[in-house]
Chain A
């Protein structure tokens, strides 16, 4: 005879009443009507916080519809719709008010930072990926060879719609305040990328990459879901703020720690960290280079943001350490050290540039894990500093990686993507601008001064020093030096290699002429003829590397933005700072945007901008400390 324990006898309506009762008592109201109004208010506040994502979903739907249009010129508009959607999303995110229901310092300003970051890098990635649907065999078969319209055989709309949906998922990770939300956001990020990998290239390797990526992705999703289930079981909440409160008062139970470990392991797949890194090289090699650039940034950044959100659960408040969370710090420490060492060693052994970049992206994940480790240290402001270092480095890493992949994507050897070092031999003779871009991007990845990668590494490693992880910083710096070997090999091939291969650009965009004809009457033909061909991969490379250089020289505002994103006040005197905001909470009424009088934290003393300058004037001519 089955004898359920007393809890299980509760009827559905009792439970519902309990839920509503809890909500109403939390909201400080008495009646059921008020409770309903408050629940509705919370929902509206949440919806108001995700307008950028909603914009992207609308653009994705539009793109799907327009991709079904009868005329090919109309179908080619899908790219423009996607670009417009991303631009509008960036604007909305920039003017988004702070979320009134933000409960923790992490989700307060981070969502906005993350959304702007994804929308702007998404635009650059869209440039890299612009020509992919044109080059597919299915497009040639059904649009060029046989121009009668078959709606089942057009891929443009789907490609860009998946692109936007995945970006929307990545943006949602930043504002996650619930385990369910985080799970859905991570899945929305991942699912479209599986399709993009498998279908955006006609080689059989792409399908192999797609199936590997999909199956391991599903496995990792199951693992972190089990972790989420255990976290819920240990605390009784899925709301991250309530979980944090529960852990603060009751300490971390072994079940909670197990759940957190499993979630970290599952998310480690997304960021390609040590135990879950093995798929990366195959997937990056097999996918179309435009999709590879996407994979190297968006899912990884989404994974890091989820890690920040998850690790926010065990951050001490009021200087009371949470009991029993030491294993997590140790695990992240080991993951960081193993990830960067393994990534660098394996990258040294590669002959294929895409595989090398895959392993180097693993190494970069390791550097960012150093920042997360620092965030878990005992330093009073350590958590906010560590997280903002990661947020900063995500931008630095993304720009350099996108630039390198875009340069490689510009080159074709015998009709195939350039892949090996030999394919790049003597690039500087044929394409000086592309090889210059490659040089600057690799400098940023090594972490050499004028580039943003230098500031990023300085930020990350000095934070870890402050938090007391000296050995980890030594490992990271040695790894950083080792990584120069394979980046310089790339540079050497471009500038000193002997030419023997056949280089050619990817042909001019096939859709340039119709677009010129279309917008010519409005903007004038000369302008249209200049502007439209700019929308190609190489301009993505130039934009990305230009941004990396500019952010390296004028890094102050991005440092401020990333500090503000985690609610770290950037007032100049640390004494007042700790007195006013002991809990790392954002100042009441503080805007997530850089405050006009903000200055740099003490770790970057040499590039402090003039404190009186308006930080919104982002072109402030800061001088680097070199």
Chain B
């Protein structure tokens, strides 16, 4: 009885994924450091990955896990590009504060 109450089910994995996703979203909106902001988007990606893997196990097919492999590859490419961009920006302004980059408006 107690055992079944503490069973780890699909819902737990989905909740973990959703929490990671929402935490990443909140962090992206509230943080101002470019690298932290980027890490927040990575956290959102990881939330998606957990969701996909949980569904993959639930549906007993490999599509979701295949998806995650591709997702991780793209996330790696994106982080390489993000670091390149951040270095480029840091050379121009010597700051990682996203508010420094707000010249254009209107």
Residues of A within 8 A of B (CB): 1-5, 7-8, 10, 15-16, 18-19, 22, 179-180, 183-184, 187, 191, 194-195, 198-199, 204-205, 207-212, 214-215, 218-219, 221-223, 225-226, 228-230, 232-233, 236-239, 281-282, 285-286, 349-352, 355
Contact = CB atoms under 8 A, between A and B. Distances in A.
A229 B9 contact: no
A-B complex: 9 closest residue pairs judged by Cβ atoms: A222-B44, A236-B59, A233-B55, A218-B41, A238-B63, A3-B7, A229-B51, A208-B101, A225-B48
Contacts of A19: 61-62
B103 interface: yes
Chain A: interface secondary structure? helix
Given A180-B67, A215-B37, A194 B81 contact: yes
Best-buried of B44, B52, B57, B101 by chain A (most CB within 10 Å): B101
Contacts of B10: 5
Given A180-B66, A282-B104, A4 B88 contact: no
A5 to B, nearest CB: 6
Given A7-B60, A221-B74, A281-B104, 7 more contacts: A2-B7, A191-B78, A194-B85, A195-B85, A207-B101, A210-B85, A233-B54
Interface of B: 3-4, 6-10, 14, 17, 21, 24-25, 28, 34, 37-38, 41, 44-45, 47-48, 51-52, 54-55, 57-64, 66-67, 70-71, 74, 77-78, 81-82, 84-86, 88-89, 92-93, 98, 101-106
Nearest to A220: B41
Contacts of A352: 106
Contacts of B62: 15-16, 19
Nearest to B13: A8
How would you classify the secondary structure of chain B's contact residues: helix, strand, loop or mixed?
helix
B103 A7 contact: no
B48 A229 contact: yes
B89 A215 contact: no
A79 B6 CA distance: 63
B58 A7 contact: yes
Contacts of B44: 219, 222-223, 226
A474 to B, nearest CB: 30
Contact of A214 (B47, B55, B81): B81
Contact of A15 (B8, B60, B84, B93): B60
A353 B18 CA distance: 42
